[in-house]
């Protein structure tokens, strides 16, 4: 017996007078999202019929489940076809005519099936009006004794519904593309959208007679079944990066308190704070959601590349709503700890390898240490520091090495560090000569990192080797400003220097090698470096303020003091040599200095001859 169906007309039931402007303005930021939403509905339809077959509810399904996208350029039509569960007239009236009533949720509730469904809101279908003047649905349910249905809507709240002739199970969506959006009738445009959003969907998607998706992506497989070369191949395919291999990767797989799978790769990082576009892709049940996770993911994770997939997040079309998503916050807390655990295991298993790759991953780790407290606590087990000789330590190891020898007069453990081996070589040699140990801290995050460690450990103080008189840290040095000859010397130096940039101190240092020391006080330099990072511009040298320490224990200064009437030229030459070494001698004086020194060398050579 065939059921009759008359052509019916009606109004779509919505809370607003016209839902479509609302959809366009608030729910979807890009027109192209329509294809993702319709394909996801088709995937749900196929998953439903597959679930019913697995449960034994139906047995006459033999053909392979498939979705196909076709373009009819002359007719200005895009057609999306699936051989999934289909819909009856009542189901069309319920799930299409009543906006925001989700069929996926109802199906899961009825059959208590595994959550492989994508749609949650029931609004996705109406994204088709982002590009269409008219939309048609032709659908045939898997249920026996039901007729196919033909539904038509022109973008208003009015629709018509009548019987269709098709005998095949499934659903066909016809989109009559708006003249202004005919770019979507180009094959390259549709293929680009399919590859962006549907590349890993679990049902085969055909376009131009080719399957364009991978139905079993690597992150859905068990880690024990995946070889190293397969992880690397997936990385190359995903990011089109064959220049640098990933240094390591973390396979995520958790079922409680939320479901999550994914793979995160740690790429080789250069010593810069410039970041590329976000490289972590967020998926929901293998559907691409976004790669713009600003304000969602802990910022240091932007150094990573990879995919995160969870059915517990909503396939929301408005990214701003993710910021307050509790599940996402739990997910990224989990990821942060998972990364820390993985790094700890690598260090314990193969410390030599970890030391080898350290300089390529330290930006990731240091950024995490200063930005995430939970990561900082975990990092104590794997974060490495290296000294000026290139030897690596955990900070606890280095601390134990220096805690007795480098105890200051203020009862602080002094961690000396350098940021540039060449520029600070004079000071490094001086500190090493006294038997002290020096770390090399040369990343953009050094100033934040050392302040973090100091805040967490009140008995530790970091001092850069060129920031102050080292002798004065452990014992008082003799200040000899009161001697008349020294006052004259100081006055002569003041006449030669810009007093707004230099503070002159006269001290008797234990180190006899240099007549002058130039430094920037530790606190001042840290402030300058923080401003540099925050403003992303170079601090000009003429804005710096320096301490000039005159060493009365040096033979040149002694000679100057002894021969009062002959000291001026020797004093100025010695001073400008030190200024030249620090690259803070003004250009005009630099030229004069070079001429004078070259002339002195020539005269000295001539005298020897």
Q: Which of 36-45, 74-83, 306-315, 412-421 has the lowest mean pLDDT?
A: 306-315
Q: 572-586, pLDDT tens digit by residue? A: 888 888 888 888 888
The pLDDT assigned to 535 comes to: 58
Question: Is 565 assigned to a binding site?
Answer: no
* Predicted confidence (pLDDT) at residue 400 exceeds the cutoff of 60: yes
Question: Is 59 assigned to a binding site?
Answer: no
Q: Which helix (H) or strand (E) holds 290?
A: strand 287-290
Question: Is 41 assigned to a binding site?
Answer: yes
CA 435 – CA 67 distance, rounded (Å):
73
* Predicted confidence (pLDDT) at residue 292 exceeds the cutoff of 90: no
* Predicted confidence (pLDDT) at residue 16 exceeds the cutoff of 80: no
Residue 188, φ and ψ in degrees, nearest 5:
-60, -35
Q: 82-118, pLDDT tens digit by residue? A: 999 999 999 998 888 775 444 545 544 555 555 455 5
Q: CA angle 6-9-15, nearest 5°?
A: 140
Q: Which among 57-66, 393-402, 493-502 has the top mean pLDDT?
A: 393-402
Q: What share of the chain is helix, strand, coil (3-state, %, to 5)?
A: 45, 20, 35
The pLDDT assigned to 20 comes to: 55
The pLDDT assigned to 183 comes to: 95
Q: Which of 62-71, 290-299, 375-384, 549-558 has the lowest mean pLDDT?
A: 290-299
The DSSP secondary-structure symbol of 24 reads I
Name residue, tokens 């999934």: 84
Question: Is 82 assigned to a binding site?
Answer: yes
| Residue 15, burial from CB neighbour count under 10 angstroms (0-12, 13-18, 19+) | exposed
Question: Is 563 assigned to a binding site?
Answer: no
The pLDDT assigned to 523 comes to: 81
* Helix 103-111 / helix 33-54 crossing angle, nearest 10 deg: 20
| Residue 579, burial from CB neighbour count under 10 angstroms (0-12, 13-18, 19+) | buried
CA 49 – CA 64 distance, rounded (Å):
11
3-state secondary structure of 416: strand
Percent of the chain with pLDDT over 90: 41
Question: Is 186 assigned to a binding site?
Answer: no
The pLDDT assigned to 396 comes to: 95
CA 179 – CA 601 distance, rounded (Å):
82
Q: Which among 14-23, 31-40, 288-297 has the top mean pLDDT?
A: 31-40
Provide the pLDDT confidence category of residue 346 given band limits of 50, 70 and 90: very high
- Signed CA dihedral, 512, 517, 523, 526: sign only: negative
Q: Which of 166-170, 223-227, 242-246, 491-495 has the lowest mean pLDDT?
A: 242-246
- What's the whole-model pTM score? 0.75
What domains, with CATH codes, occur in the chain? 8-211 (3.30.565.10), 218-355 (3.30.230.80), 383-466 (3.40.50), 477-520+543-608 (1.20.120.790)
Q: Residue 17, preceding bond cis, omega within 30 degrees?
A: no
Provide the pLDDT confidence category of residue 277 given band limits of 50, 70 and 90: low
Please, which residues have CB within 8 angstroms of residue 204's CB and are 6 or more apart in sequence? 64, 65, 66, 67, 211, 213, 215
The residue ranking higher by pLDDT, 102 or 259, is 259
CB 89 within 8 A of CB 164: no
Q: Which helix (H) or strand (E) holds 38?
A: helix 33-54
Strand order in the sheet with 260-266: 248-254, 260-266, 305-309, 280-284, 287-290
Mean pLDDT of the chain: 83
Radius of gyration of the chain (CA): 36
CA atoms within a 13 Å half-sphere pointing along the CA-CB vector of 314: 17
Residue 25 corresponds to which tokens in the numbers above? 């303005």
Provide the pLDDT confidence category of residue 245 given band limits of 50, 70 and 90: confident
CB 518 within 8 A of CB 548: yes
Q: Which of 121-125, 198-202, 278-282 has the lowest mean pLDDT?
A: 121-125
Q: CA angle 155-157-161, nearest 5°?
A: 90
Closest among 489, 517, 503 to 579, alpha carbons compared: 517
The pLDDT assigned to 171 comes to: 96
DSSP string, 102-168: -HHHHHHHHH---S----SSS-GGGGGGGTEEEEEEEEE-SSTT---EEEEE-SSSEEEEEE----S
The residue ranking higher by pLDDT, 292 or 123, is 292
* Predicted confidence (pLDDT) at residue 507 exceeds the cutoff of 70: yes
Name residue, tokens 């065939």: 2
* Predicted confidence (pLDDT) at residue 46 exceeds the cutoff of 70: yes
Neighbours of 139 (CB within 10 A): 26
CA 79 – CA 70 distance, rounded (Å):
5
């Amino acid at each position: 017996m065939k059921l009759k169906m008359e052509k019916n007309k009606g109004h779509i039931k919505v809370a607003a007078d016209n839902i479509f402007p609302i959809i366009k303005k608030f729910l979807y930021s890009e027109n192209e999202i329509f294809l993702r939403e319709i394909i996801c509905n088709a995937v749900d339809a196929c998953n439903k019929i597959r679930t019913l077959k697995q449960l034994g509810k139906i047995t006459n399904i033999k053909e392979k489940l498939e979705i196909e996208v076709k373009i009819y350029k002359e007719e200005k039509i895009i057609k999306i076809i699936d051989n999934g569960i289909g819909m009856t007239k009542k189901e069309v009236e319920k799930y299409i005519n009543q906006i925001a009533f989700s069929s996926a949720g109802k199906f899961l509730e009825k059959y208590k099936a595994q959550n492989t469904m994508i749609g949650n809101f029931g609004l996705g279908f109406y994204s088709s009006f982002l590009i269409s003047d008219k939309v048609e649905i032709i659908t045939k349910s898997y249920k026996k004794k039901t007729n196919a249905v033909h539904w038509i809507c022109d973008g208003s709240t009015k629709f018509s519904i009548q019987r269709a002739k098709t005998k095949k199970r499934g659903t066909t969506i016809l989109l009559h593309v708006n003249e202004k959006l005919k770019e979507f009738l180009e094959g390259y445009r549709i293929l680009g959208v399919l590859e962006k959003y549907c590349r890993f969907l679990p049902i085969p998607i055909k376009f131009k007679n080719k399957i364009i998706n991978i139905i079993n992506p690597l992150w859905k497989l068990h880690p024990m079944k995946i070889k190293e070369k397969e992880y690397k191949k997936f990385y190359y395919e995903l990011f089109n990066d064959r220049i640098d291999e990933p240094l390591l990767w973390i396979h995520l797989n958790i079922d409680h308190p939320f479901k999550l799978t994914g793979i995160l790769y740690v790429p080789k990082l250069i010593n810069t704070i410039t970041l590329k576009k976000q490289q972590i892709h967020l998926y929901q049940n293998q559907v691409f959601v976004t790669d713009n996770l600003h304000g969602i993911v802990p910022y240091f994770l932007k150094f990573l590349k990879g995919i995160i997939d969870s059915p517990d997040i909503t396939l929301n079309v408005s990214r701003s709503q993710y910021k307050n998503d509790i599940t996402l916050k739990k997910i990224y807390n989990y990821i942060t700890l998972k990364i820390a655990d993985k790094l700890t295991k690598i260090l314990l298993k193969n410390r030599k390898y970890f030391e080898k790759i350290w300089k390529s991953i330290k930006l990731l780790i240091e950024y995490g240490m200063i930005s995430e407290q939970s990561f900082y606590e975990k990092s104590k087990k794997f974060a490495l520091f290296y000294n000026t000789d290139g030897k690596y330590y955990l900070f606890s190891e280095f601390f134990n090495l220096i805690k007795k020898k480098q105890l200051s007069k203020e009862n602080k453990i002094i961690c000396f560090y350098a940021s540039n081996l060449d520029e600070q070589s004079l000071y490094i040699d001086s500190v090493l000569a006294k038997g002290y140990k020096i770390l090399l801290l040369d990343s953009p995050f050094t100033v934040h990192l050392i302040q973090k460690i100091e805040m967490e450990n009140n008995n530790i103080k970091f001092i850069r080797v060129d920031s102050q008189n080292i002798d004065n840290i452990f014992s008082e040095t003799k200040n000899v400003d009161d001697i008349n000859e020294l006052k004259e010397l100081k006055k002569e130096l003041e006449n030669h220097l810009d007093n707004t940039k230099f503070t002159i101190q006269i001290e008797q240092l234990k180190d006899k090698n240099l007549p002058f020391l130039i430094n920037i006080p530790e606190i001042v330099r840290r402030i300058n470096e923080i401003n540099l990072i925050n403003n992303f511009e170079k601090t000009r040298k003429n804005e710096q303020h320096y301490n000039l320490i005159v060493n009365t224990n040096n033979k040149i200064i002694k000679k100057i003091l002894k021969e009062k009437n002959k000291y001026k030229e020797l004093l100025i030459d010695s001073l400008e040599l030190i200024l030249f070494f620090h690259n803070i001698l003004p250009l005009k004086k630099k030229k004069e200095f070079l001429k004078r020194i070259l002339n002195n060398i020539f005269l000295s050579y001539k005298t020897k001859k």
